[in-house]
Structures are given as structure tokens and as C-alpha cells.
Amino acid sequence: MTDISTQMLELARRAKTASRILRAMPTEQKNAILLDTAERLQAARAKIQEANAQDLAEAKERGMSAAMLNRLELSDKVMAEMVQGLSEVAALSDPVGEIADMARRPSGIQVGRMRVPLGVILMIYESRPNVTIDAAALCLKSGNAAILRGGSEALRSNLALAAVFHEALKAHDASPDCVQVVPTADRAAIDVLLEQETLIDLVIPRGGEGLIRAVTAKSRIPVLKHYKGVCHAFVDESADIDKAIRVVVSAKIQRPAACNALEGLLVHQKIAPNFLPKAAEALHKEGVKMLGCAASQQFSPHIEAAADEDWGREFLDLTLTVRVVADMDEALTYIERFGSNHTESILTESYGNAQRFLREVDASAVMVNASTRFNDGGQFGLGMEIGISTSKLHAYGPMGLKELTTQKFVVLGQGEVRA
């Protein structure tokens, strides 16, 4: 075994050992650690920003883009958000130990489902070092040991943040192994970790599609991920035109780089003559570039011709595809083909069509008369989220504390045996 193999195996084993303690850690102890970390982060701000400044300087030297440098920076604002996040996670109710569906069975035993931590969670992410604190907080609160592997360009920042978390852990009689940052930029480290299916229970990659595909291909551990967000709005024939325009425009422009921003507009042919000229005008006014089918172009000079490869593209900027469809069947078929199981919304005043859309569309969030931008843990009431899953196993949609746990069965008997 190479040095890095030995080191990573050791790290994963320590996480596994810590997870056994975390499984039974009282809520008050977890909250105390989170709140203490928040306080210590404020006190250590200068030190952390110093480490971050070194990461930034090196990244700049290597020619990192301004946008990426911005993501890497632990500004005062980002530091304040981390502190705020820690208090928010402390305030969330602890999902561990909750027992559901307890019922007595004909045999006499009582059977229920108890919510328990998954065990050890490996987070692999890019750039933003604040994920280190957010992920550590969510893992700790849900009773899981965290192994955190951020971008190599953020290693100094991540280690500085983890050091603060470790101080708080130690101050509350908890092992620093509860939260570990992979202390090397060596890519071989990930490869070793992704093979530890007996030590690590879940991998969550967050970042570009390339990172996520690479992790999924290599991992022997279950992976929760979303590749991309290609979200659509379908304006049904019965839509309220003003309401539909408001929702569509906002879903596109409110934060175009987000994964839940609108990328494609589908319009029922019967409403297209009344809806599209006004909608295209409103979108154009906001600087949105529209790429449409031939039918859609009839209704507005602002709609350019779309190329074949534009359908189903994740633009992540102010570009939108526009397509006129014959009916709801065509809309559903289009979404099935070009959607990414992320977020789909129908604009309609028809009860039946709303029900059908909700039932038949396969996406982590399916909406009626609402902006796709609502697909978010905070907006959905989960508290902070650790990511959005477009995989269907275990979690589908925003992942909060509950999604970092599982349910085991518990049986309360009085000496019962099988007949």
C-alpha cells in the first residue's frame, strides 16, 4: 500500500469509530458544538482569512478566473453567513431517535421505525470553502461523521475552518474525528476513499457535471447527486397570462446561474398567440435571449431560431429555449426527453391538467403556478440543504437533515416468538 492509501484508510477508520459515538450523541451536545463553532469562527476570522488569502494568491497566480476567485473568497459576508448557518442548524430539530408508525402486530410485538444516522458521509466539492462548515454542521447535527474533500485550491482555507470546528469538538468532549478534512490535494486520496464501502456510507459530490460523473463512475459507495438542472415551465392553454408571464420571467432572471433557474419554455398552441408576444417582450426587456422553434418565432421578432442541440441545454445564463407544443401530451413527452428530473412547473387554471402534470412528471419537484426557483431546502422548509438530489433512491429533491438519516425497525416485545 502506498502512503496515501494507508493515510486515507486510517482517516476513514477514524471516521467510522467516531460515527459510533455520534450515533448516540445527545442533541444538547451537538447543538453546543455548533454554537461554539460559530463563536470561535468569529474570533478566528483574521486567521482564517489569512489562510484564505494565501489560497487566493496562489489561485490568482495560476490564472484562476475572476468568477472562480470570487467563489473561493471567504469575505466578511461569507464568514457571517457561515456563523448564521451554524445557528440555524443548531435551531433545527434533531431527526435522530424519532420513532414513526409504531403499531402493535397480531403476534403481540410492537413495531416502529426509528430514525438513525447513516454513519460516515464523504462530501466532495469544489471551490467554495464555506461548504466545509455547512456540510460539517449538517452531518454533525444528523449524527454522521463527515469526511470533507474540497477543491485543492481551497485546502488552506478548509483546514483553517476545520481547525476551528475541532477546537469546539474538543471543548465539548467530542472527538475531532467527527469532522475531518482530507489533508492533501493528491487526487489519489479520493480514489482510495471511494473504494471504502465498508467504512463510508454515502458520497455526496457537489460541483460541475464532470466532477459528479467522475465520482459516480469510480465509487463503490452509494452516491447522491444531481448532474444538471434543465427546468421547464409549461404554459397550458388555460393559463392566466399575466400570472404566467410573471412566473416565467422571474424563474428565468431571478438567479440565472442557479440549477433551479428556468431553461426551457413550452407553450400550448392555443394560448401561444395571446401569450407569446407579451411574454417574449417582457423577457426581452430583461435581457433574455430566446431560442425558439419555427412556430414560436411567428409570435415575436425577439425569438431567434434554436439549433437542435439547444433543446435540453443547461444555459445557466440569460438564455431560454421556447417551444410551441400541440397539447399536454407533447409537453409531457418533451419534458420526459429533455428534462433532467430536477424541477418542472405548469402554469394552468385547469384542475385536471394541474393534477395530471403533478402525477405524471418525473422530477424532484413538480409545481403548479410557481417559479422553479422555489426548489430549495430553505424554501421547502427543510432548513439548510446539503444539495439537491435528482437520483431517485433514498432522496429526491433538496436534502436536509432528514435525508442524511435512515430508518431502522425497532421491536418492543414481551418474550414473543414466531409460531
Please state the closest distance from residue 118 (CB atom) to its own copies, in A. Answer: 5
Separation in Å, CA 238 to CA 130, 269, 327, 333:
44, 11, 11, 19
Which amino acid makes up residue 268? Answer: H
Q: State in angstroms the smallest separation of the CB of 418 from its own copies.
A: 4
Residue 10 CB, shortest distance to its own copies, in Å, is: 18
Of the pair 287, 413, the CB lying nearest its own copies is at 413
Question: What's the min distance (Å) between Cβ of 58 and its own copies?
Answer: 36
| Closest CB 159 distance from its own copies, rounded Å | 30
Nearer to its own copies, 195 or 310 (CB): 195
Backbone φ/ψ region at 133: left (φ over 0), alpha (ψ -120 to 50), beta: alpha
Residue closest to 411 by CA, chosen among 157, 3, 114, 35: 114
- Which residue in 244, 10, 215 sits closest to 125, CA to CA? 215
356 class by beta-carbon count within 10 Å (0-12 exposed, 13-18 middle, 19+ buried): middle
DSSP bridge pairs for 114: 99, 408
Distance CA 86, CA 79 (A): 11
Q: Identify which of residues 170 and 408 has a Cβ nearer to its own copies in the complex.
A: 408
Name the DSSP letter for residue 156.
H
Pick 45 or 402: Cβ nearer its own copies:
402
**Shortest spacing between CB 406 and its own copies, in angstroms:** 5
Closest approach of Cβ 228 to its own copies, in Å?
Answer: 14
Q: Between 98 and 186, whose beta carbon lies closer to its own copies?
A: 98
Nearer residue to its own copies within complex by CB, 299 or 396: 396
Of the pair 34, 354, the CB lying nearest its own copies is at: 354
Q: How far is 184 from 292, CA to CA, in rounded Å? A: 47
Write down the least CB distance from residue 39 to its own copies, Å: 28
Contact between 372 and 343 under an 8 Å Cβ cutoff? The reply is yes
Cα gap 303→316, rounded to integer Å: 18
Phi, psi of 111 (to 5 degrees): -125, 135
Among residues 102 and 326, whose Cβ is nearest to its own copies? 102
Cell digits of residue 225 = 447527486
Considering the complex, what minimum distance in angstroms separates the CB of residue 415 from its own copies? 4
**Closer residue to its own copies, CB minimum distance, 60 or 394:** 394
Would you say 258 and 231 are in contact if contact means Cβ atoms under 8 Å apart? Answer: no
CA nearest 135: which of 117, 154, 150, 156? 150
CB of 124 to its own copies, least distance (A): 17
Taking the C-alpha atoms of residue 393 and residue 149, their distance in angstroms, rounded to an integer, is 23
CB of 266 to its own copies, least distance (A): 17
Complex with its own copies: residue 46 or 417, whichever CB lies closer: 417
Q: Which stretches of the chain bind its own copies, using CB under 8 A?
A: 20, 23-24, 97, 103, 105, 107, 109, 111, 114, 116, 118-119, 201-202, 216-217, 220, 222, 240, 243, 246-247, 250-251, 254-255, 336, 345, 354, 356, 358-360, 362-371, 373-375, 379-381, 391-394, 396-398, 406-418
CA distance 74 to 78: 6
**127 or 372: CB nearest its own copies:** 372
Task: Tally Cβ neighbours within 10 Å of residue 80.
Answer: 13
* Residue spans of beta strands (DSSP E) within 19-139: 99-104, 110-117, 120-125
Contact 322, 303 (CB under 8 A): yes
Choose among 364, 7, 51, 379: nearest CA to 196: 7
